[in-house]
Chain A
Amino acid sequence: MYKKQKCVAMLLAGGQGSRLYALTEKTAKPAVPFGGKYRIIDFPLSNCINSQIYTVGVLTQYQPLVLNEYIGNGQPWDLDKMQSGVMVLPPYQAKEGADWYKGTANAIYQNLNFINRYDPDNVLILSGDHIYKMDYAKMIDAHEKNGADCTIAVLEVTLEEASRFGIMNTDENLKIIEFEEKPAHPKSTKASMGIYVFKRDVLEKYLVEDENDPDSVNDFGKNIIPKMLADGCTMYAYPFEGYWKDVGTIASLWEANMDLLGENPNFRIKDASWRIFSRNQPLPPHFIAASSQISNSLITEGCVIEGTVENSILFAGVKVEQGAVIRDSVIMSDVTVSKGAVVQYSIIDSDCKIGAGAIVGRSKDECDEVTVVGAGNTIAPGEDVRGGSMLSAK
């Protein structure tokens, strides 16, 4: 017997994140490092635990090794529970054949048995590609108060941006009357954040119907939500206020990292009331040498800084040698930037070695594209990696 849970969260973490190119060649998008000591998935997982949701299924598919290892038994997020906690749910072989997850809805459909063990009232659907702090408990409260079959979290966007999102048109009580996927002429600015709360039985009914529909692509946004609206289900929008960023592209990932910087950062990660948890490595404190100069930057354990670091985020174990300069960049774990090398407006993935005097990227003024160096690359001394380059992971 499993203990009943009010709500089970299902975190869609199987996406490839193909627009992150070199950063997701060998890693699923939710496992992409972020903000000096986090990975993207830390945000929804921490939100869950901070919202008192202790049962989380993580649906993996694409390149799951790093992600599986990172989640482990869920201990860093206090999700190592006896009867619930976090559970990684890969696609599997069943008696009636074996399927990859065909779409978001199909992924949940294939794991209805996991959800039903806990007899939850509601199911929360999350995705692993956003940076935000959100109290899901409040959303579930609103969902229950409205007696909704489905509640969709929405964010106010500008009218121009609205064409890039799924847009909810609602009445004055936030009841959804129409849903438009990427409308050319948006009627509202309430963009879906890809966060849904469903009544469990309603979800199950629609997932089963969807599975039996040969024309469906088994996607929440494209199939389930429009079908439910057409059938007259009670659906509400839940307005979210605060920082939310889709980090699906190199540019947005870079921006979201930069949003952590400044005296009053756009996204405040240091928040005692809403802590973000992550898996820690046992590393010593970082050392700042006499020859260093650091301004407006985040630096974490294991780093040794002898050079100049400006407007940048350094992950664990980064070495910046004398005379090296890092500007407007995100440098992931265990990268060495050798003497006199200059890294500007770049994202350097983990375990790279930038040779002495090498030049990686250009300043933002010279080139408006972020330079990306995939994991494990060695840049030869004196080599010039031009602005906007994208080097595959080694």
Chain B
Amino acid sequence: MSSAAGFIFSNIHDGNIAELTKLRTIASVPFGCRYRFIDFALSNMVNSDIYNVNVITQHNYHSLMDHIGSGKDWDLARRSGGVKILPPNITAYAGSSGHMGYASRLEALKSTYYSLSRVSEDYIILSDCDVICNIDLNDILKYHISKDADMTFAVKKMEMTRETARNNTIYYSDADGRITDVLAYPQNFEGEADICLNIIVAKTGYLQQAVLDAIAHNYTSLNRDIIAKNFSHDNFRVYRYDGIFGVISSLADYFEMSMKLISSPEVRDQLFNVRNRPVYTKVRNSVPTYYAANSKVNDSLIADGCDIHGTVENSILFRGVKVGKGAVVKNSILMQDTIVGSNASLNCVISDKNTVIRDGRVLSGAEEAPYYIVKGKMI
């Protein structure tokens, strides 16, 4: 049914997990043994028959381009549509305060207005990458159409603390789901609220006009300059999503969400085992994982291509990880091709790609402050 085009923001909120985004976009942050954040946004789109997907980039997008390639692993290598990477298009519109980047979704859309103006589908779906969920976008689209809305925001009702509210956008709405106010990153909010999942559906014409308007008025924020100014006369709606999702706004969040994949079968099932909605990722052709005779593995999520000779507990192993004899890995996340030497011991460690932990090393972080090893480092 879908007549929608997708726009994915690959750099929005990069700063939230500075460790993992030093060398990559937030979109290409590895997650869940074999995925990167953007796999969820891309898979949600293709699973909802959206085959015209634009990925807006800004900086550090080498790993993102490498990951997406031609898009064929998501069925997005297509004659018409498919996935298009929109690198920064430095024009007079881009950037608000002298620097040549953009900090918000609205600025990103302004800088790629040409692509936006070429969209021939009736609807546009905007998605960030730091929200992990497996959602049927057609449900939001149907709702959006039934309400004849200008824009619809996917939200989830959650109990917020001052801490967590600070990283989120909160929408107030009436009994019919029409937005009556918006709070972007409130500093003093506590209590139950509809928080934004950063998945937004818009009428194409409405969004094109809004972005043109933003260019003319030098608006920079979708929430502050478009939603807050217009909710009384334009039709903005919330769509309540009640499935599993994770917002990753810090390294601790990243660690916690990763660990939920292990501790909660419900999270695993709702993310990975939804009928007709598989999560696609780049195919790496790894061999199956080998468990040696003396290996001991409990409560762990493990990708292909690993070689396990030691003990692994409550951990996430990405593709091609080697765990040496006598090594003990607990509560850790080891990214692609990490090598853990013999008799090494790790607890609450996040090792980035291609790191080496030498024989006998003992490393430990804490759950709220996992010890992070940068890409390619040898310890």
| A interface residue numbers (CB < 8 A to B) | 35-37, 75-76, 261, 263, 269-270, 275-278, 280-290, 292, 294-301, 309, 313-314
Q: Tell me whether B288 and A294 are in contact (CB under 8 A).
A: no
Tell me the bound Cα distance from A213 to B307 in angstroms: 56
Q: In chain A, what residue has the closest Cβ to B289?
A: A299
Q: Per-residue CB proximity of B8-32 to A under 8 Å, as 1/0?
A: 0000000000000000000000001
A59 nearest CB across to chain B (Å): 26
Q: Tell me whether B285 and A282 are in contact (CB under 8 A).
A: no
| B interface residue numbers (CB < 8 A to A) | 32-34, 72, 262, 268, 271-273, 278-281, 283, 285, 287-295, 297-305, 307, 312, 316
Q: Tell me whether A37 and B34 are in contact (CB under 8 A).
A: no
Q: Tell me whether B32 and A284 are in contact (CB under 8 A).
A: yes
Q: List 13 A-B contacts (CB under 8 A).
A: A37-B304, A280-B283, A280-B285, A284-B271, A285-B33, A287-B262, A287-B300, A287-B301, A287-B302, A289-B299, A294-B295, A294-B297, A301-B34
Q: Tell me whether A282 and B290 are in contact (CB under 8 A).
A: no
Dominant secondary structure at the A interface: loop
Tell me the bound Cα distance from A282 to B272 in angstroms: 9
Across the interface, A270 reaches (CB within 8 A) one of B268, B287, B294, B299, namely B287
Across the interface, B34 reaches (CB within 8 A) one of A281, A285, A290, namely A285
* A286-B285 contact given A75-B72, A295-B294, CB 8 Å threshold: no
Q: In chain B, what residue has the closest Cβ to A300?
A: B288
A74 nearest CB across to chain B (Å): 13
Dominant secondary structure at the B interface: loop
* A275-B285 contact given A284-B272, A288-B300, A288-B302, CB 8 Å threshold: yes
Q: Tell me whether B297 and A292 are in contact (CB under 8 A).
A: yes
For residue A275, which residues in chain B have a CB less than 8 angstroms away from its CB?
285
Q: Tell me whether A285 and B280 are in contact (CB under 8 A).
A: no
Q: Tell me whether B304 and A301 are in contact (CB under 8 A).
A: yes
Tell me the bound Cα distance from A261 to B262 in angstroms: 27
* A299-B273 contact given A282-B280, A282-B281, CB 8 Å threshold: no
* A286-B283 contact given A295-B293, A296-B291, CB 8 Å threshold: no
- Of B279, B281, B302, B312, chain A has the most CB atoms within 10 Å of the CB of B302
A49 nearest CB across to chain B (Å): 12
Q: Tell me whether B279 and A296 are in contact (CB under 8 A).
A: no
Apart from the given pairs A276-B285, A295-B295, 15 other A-B contacts in the complex at a CB distance below 8 Å:
A37-B287, A37-B288, A263-B292, A282-B281, A283-B278, A284-B32, A284-B268, A285-B303, A285-B316, A287-B262, A289-B299, A292-B297, A295-B293, A296-B293, A313-B288
Tell me the bound Cα distance from A290 to B300 in angstroms: 8
For residue B33, which residues in chain A have a CB less than 8 angstroms away from its CB?
284-285
Q: Tell me whether B285 and A35 are in contact (CB under 8 A).
A: no
